[in-house]
Structure 1
Amino acid sequence: MRSDIDIVVIGGGNAALCAAMTAAECGASVCILETAPKPYRGGNSRHTRNFRCMHKGPHGPLVDDYSEDEYFSDLLKVTAGKTDEKLARLAIRTSEECLTWMQEHGVHFQPSLSGTLSLGRTNAFFMGGGKSLVNAYYRKAESLGVTILYEAHVTHLELVDDRIELVSFAHEGKEKRLVPKAVVVASGGFQADTDWLTRAWGPPAKNFLIRGTPYNRGVVLADLLDQGVSSVGDPTQCHAVAIDGRAPKFDGGIVTRLDCVPFSIVVNKHGERFYDEGEDVWPKRYAIWGRLIAQQPDQVGYVVIDAKSLELFMPSVFPPIKADSLEELAAKMDLPPKKLSDTVAEFNLACGNTSKFHPTELDGVATSGLLPAKTNWARPIDEPPFYGYSLKTGVTFTYLGLKVDENAQCSTGQGPVRNLWAAGETMAGSILGQGYLAGFGMTIGTVFGRIAGREAAKYAN
């Protein structure tokens, strides 16, 4: 048992590192407990690639401007209003100063990626991706004297009245305890515990893929909820996207995501379309497709595109299935050939004038008389060869989490837990009631990680 640590930070991703660095810069002694082995440190953050950032005028790699109100409006669209406006606006406003802070802590940025992302004005892209960001933060944390323990499996936080009295964890084959002055929980959601996911979703969850880290099993979250720490969010709500059906069960990451949906039709196993593929620009709608696929038979969908659309999006790590005819493509994807051909023919007939087709913005090129309609980018699928991908639900992180206030502090029904803060995905449900906005998870983690680190250090000091 050790009692010489001011602050224990549980987790090893972006939010945890932001908290640890901030607390160390405030003069506190900090210990990070990261469940993963060192090569897999960083949680879901190592799979990220950008940070959504408010800015008044050009800012770093960002062009033009992106106001607080426009940012919040974008968030309202994807969450259908299910958000805490005070916390959301806090994250949005603070994001502008975070970009400079990130650079000061070793993060480098690059011009935005092109294609369906269309994010040059709203999102700052990390040079080297999330893994580079994570490595930079670990270097900085170590230079600040932060102690980092890998393969440190936290098993219990002892809540006594309104304080966390000790932290129990397994490390190097031994049961250990720390008695810190303050604790920051930044250990993500519960998505890697597929039994918990199945209890929330039912049997369909058995077919889900977990695109993020296999180490976010919700152990600390469950432990605190069992002790009466206040929760927020719906266990069935999550950041879930449509990913390549050939992706691994865990840790496939962002390279398994498919960005071709706006230029395709998407059918279920029966060869039937079920949703508007062109509803909005991809960064505002890609995260709904995981849930849409989850609602289809066997939790699987199929993308169909033709030759003229193949170069309009960033490819998956897996090559598409290719065929010279729709019937051949259907056979290769185990779809009913006649039904797929009929579905494509019906779609093609509903397409009108495509002269205003524009792949990176809403173009209004829509179908007519078709249900469901395709409201943008509706061009006939008629130029061979034809290409297809299978789609499965890829869960990134769950939204059931710890409820926090504007200081990132946790509470029970009796009031605040005096020395407990939360940041990142483990409290993102405080802001994300449903849906997702590209790059916003990194915004939440960075903003509330810094707040949690600052407040924990203030308490410890």
Structure 2
Amino acid sequence: MDPDVLVIGGGNAALCAALMAREAGATVLLLEAAPRAWRGGNSAHTRNLRCMHDAPQDVLVEAYPEEEFWQDLLKVTGGLTDEALARLVIRHSSSCRPWMRRHGVHFQPPLSGALHVARTNAFFMGGGKALVNAYFRSAEALGVQVRYETPVERLEIADGRFVAAHLKDGERIAAKTCVLAAGGFESNRDWLREAWGQNERGEWPSDNFLIRGTAFNQGVLLRHLLEDHGAERIGDPTQAHMVAIDARAPLYDGGICTRIDCVSLGVVVNRDGERFYDEGEDFWPKRYAIWGRLVAQQPGQIGYSIIDAKAIGRFMPPVFPGVKADTLPELAHKLGLPVDSFMRTLDSYNAACRVGTFDHTALDDCHTEGLAPAKTHWARPIDTAPFYGYALKPGVTFTYLGLKTGDTAAVRFGGAASPNLFVAGEMMAGNVLGKGYTAGVGMSIGTAFGRIAGANAARAARQQPAQPLATLIATEQGALHAAA
């Protein structure tokens, strides 16, 4: 039988949508392009959810009020965000965890290497893979039908209304409503090349990008909706959650363990041995996501993070050990960097350091003077052997080009909201993230809009109008109270 709600995708947003729709009484079919062993998309690589809270809550310490969350998001996006939708996500993040727990998700206090986000982020017990598995177990127990290795090639849409999905093998699946949660296009190498083009050095920067997550986010339906159906778009195709990761990482699915987290404790140079940005601009969880783009703008799309023995033990070590040397010239030689320019850079940096009270957990007073670019915090001379170097490449997590939406999660065509086609997760994250990133906010967006999309898809299947989040949550809480 044709389902009430068809969910396309298999990550956090898709699963939240499927669960919400099923809880509302709809029949649900979820299509995941990946094999079962690779299910979950980028969500399988996540660790936490950024959460607003006005007082300590179980695994969250102190408080993280709405306005501070908003200001953090405003800073990293440079204002390229829809404030109404951003605040919707922020407010939802304060109340979603009880629902997540009901579907088998467990939380834990942050590990020692992540204490700097203990106040702002709730960590999943077992990480994103455990979250994805819990949601799939709950969905299947509730009667959601799941099909793996089922990529959708195109949609049948009439006057902004979803009619059916057409699979790659030619099968047609009709449904009363549909939720799109199939991710961005970061795994599509041709589209990345098209978006980034050629730089002034004649390089194709995207050829040197690594993909931190799934190989299955090809952007097929995103391009289809934008180009074939004229869906309203949001975002810049070159903007993405892009992180500096170990250059030795695999092309796909390297995940969090390949991220290099010692940047703020040392200096970063390009292949010419020159610094190019302030490594101590702000706390690492607020700035780590700019470094992939910074490295992408350097010659050869490569950089090198340099630290000394004083930094060891103060950051989460990556999966691969760094290149080690007893002297700085030896380190430059091992990394293949020009020794003379490298030493000029390091000598200038060391001489410019004004060391006060070093504290890597606070915005301390250790800074440089008379140096461009400056290092505004955590500036200490790199002078204590052994020395370590990590080669960096841009690691793309997900792209920000997506479908424009509003507080009901409906896809928009020609200024009008679709009555039965909804979007969640990376396919619409650009509404909130015009650029930049702060740790855990992708899961906050996916959870909020996945739940909105699923609930409204179930309503549309009953020919009821879509509702904004506040109304949906109030209805849900009322039902829970009545059941109790």
In the superposition, the TM-score normalised over structure 2's length comes to 0.93
**1:201: which partner in 2?**
196
Deviations 1:127-156 (A, max 9, x none): 111000000000000011000000001001
Find the partner of 1:191 among 186, 189, 192. 186
Shift of 1:102: 1.1
Q: Partner letter of residue 160 of structure 2?
A: D
**1:358: which partner in 2?**
359
**2:341: which partner in 1?**
339
**2:270: which partner in 1?**
268
- Looking at structure 1, the residues matched to 285 and 381 of structure 2 have their Cα atoms a distance apart, in angstroms, of 23
Q: Partner letter of residue 429 of structure 2?
A: A
> Is residue 2:161 matched to residue 1:159?
no
- Looking at structure 2, the residues matched to 48 and 448 of structure 1 have their Cα atoms a distance apart, in angstroms, of 17
> Is residue 2:302 matched to residue 1:287?
no
Shift of 1:414: 5.0
Classify the secondary structure of the residue corresponding to 1:118. Answer: helix
8 Å contact from structure 2 (residues 236, 434) kept in 1: yes
- Looking at structure 2, the residues matched to 113 and 188 of structure 1 have their Cα atoms a distance apart, in angstroms, of 29
Change (3 A) 1:117 1:63: closer
Structural RMSD (CA): 1.0
Q: Partner letter of residue 191 of structure 1?
A: E
8 Å contact from structure 1 (residues 116, 359) kept in 2: no
Question: Superposition pairs for residues 106-255 of structure 1, below 5 Å?
Answer: 106-115=104-113, 118-170=116-168, 174-202=169-197, 203-226=204-227, 227-255=229-257
Classify the secondary structure of the residue corresponding to 2:74. Answer: helix
> Is residue 2:280 matched to residue 1:278?
yes
Deviations 1:373-392 (A, max 9, x none): 00000000000010000000
> Is residue 2:30 matched to residue 1:28?
no
- Looking at structure 2, the residues matched to 366 and 175 of structure 1 have their Cα atoms a distance apart, in angstroms, of 61
- Looking at structure 2, the residues matched to 396 and 117 of structure 1 have their Cα atoms a distance apart, in angstroms, of 23
Classify the secondary structure of the residue corresponding to 2:171. Answer: strand
- Looking at structure 2, the residues matched to 109 and 221 of structure 1 have their Cα atoms a distance apart, in angstroms, of 33
Classify the secondary structure of the residue corresponding to 2:3. Answer: coil
8 Å contact from structure 1 (residues 238, 396) kept in 2: yes
- Looking at structure 1, the residues matched to 401 and 355 of structure 2 have their Cα atoms a distance apart, in angstroms, of 45
**2:447: which partner in 1?**
446
Question: Superposition pairs for residues 266-415 of structure 1, below 5 Å?
Answer: 266-354=268-356, 356-415=357-416
Deviations 1:377-429 (A, max 9, x none): 00000000100000000000000001111010111115122110000011000
- Name whichever of 29-38 and 58-67 sits farther off: 58-67
Structure 1: tracts of 5 or more residues without a match: none
Deviations 1:79-113 (A, max 9, x none): 01110000000000011111121111111111113
Q: Partner letter of residue 238 of structure 2?
A: T
- Looking at structure 1, the residues matched to 196 and 245 of structure 2 have their Cα atoms a distance apart, in angstroms, of 19
Shift of 1:311: 1.2
**1:430: which partner in 2?**
431
Deviation beyond 4 Å, 4+ runs, structure 1: none
Q: Partner letter of residue 328 of structure 1?
A: E
8 Å contact from structure 2 (residues 409, 453) kept in 1: yes
Q: Partner letter of residue 200 of structure 1?
A: A
8 Å contact from structure 2 (residues 355, 379) kept in 1: no
Q: Partner letter of residue 153 of structure 1?
A: P
Q: Partner letter of residue 269 of structure 2?
A: V
Q: Partner letter of residue 140 of structure 1?
A: S
Q: Partner letter of residue 172 of structure 2?
A: R
Find the partner of 1:85 among 83, 86, 92. 83
Classify the secondary structure of the residue corresponding to 1:97. Answer: coil
Q: Partner letter of residue 425 of structure 2?
A: G
